[in-house]
Amino acid sequence: MTTAKIKVGDKLPSGSLSEYIEIETGACSIGPNTFQVAELAKGKTIAIFGLPGAYTPTCSAQHVPGYVKFSDKLKAAGVDEIWCISVNDAFVMGAWGRDQKATGVVRMMADGNADYSRALGLDADFSKHGMGVRSQRYSMVVVDGVVKHLNIEQAGKFDVSNAETMLAQLAK
């Protein structure tokens, strides 16, 4: 695991993430759409959680389901949007979001080449497991592009990046 570059009080780094859009709007076509993080974060409170990969055991059984389950409480605590960032392509993230019943609840943001995870300093080399560069498991609360809370898991753990921890932080 690498040491995080991002810390509480920092602005999110510039960069882009992709999202598979299910319903065409005036601004977005159906399929993968790429967004600039700074533009998306402007003026919003965002609960972001990052994880190693779609369809992986802890991510599918606990991480995403927790944010889906507690989405109403997070929004009641002032969160405008919830993002899941993973090093997968937008097609996989879209399919996984449908599978997890996260569509319209959690924005499933693809970091296909791990560029954004690297910019955060939250990338991890899973090559010894045949998975290449991925994201560390983490969560953060971002207000108008600035990190207010940051929770980074130790390797192999799922103790501090869950929705319940974020809710407790937002309650303070």
DSSP letter, residue 31 = E
Q: Which of 59, 150, 152, 170 is catalytic?
A: 59
Q: Cα separation of 62 and 144, whole Å?
A: 28
CA distances from 158 to 30, 57, 161, 162 (A): 34, 12, 7, 7
Residue with tokens 């994201």: 135
Is 84 a catalytic site residue?
no
Beta strands in the chain (DSSP E): 16-21, 31-36, 45-51, 81-86, 107-110, 123-125, 133-135, 138-143, 146-152
Where in the sequence numbering do the catalytic residues fall?
59
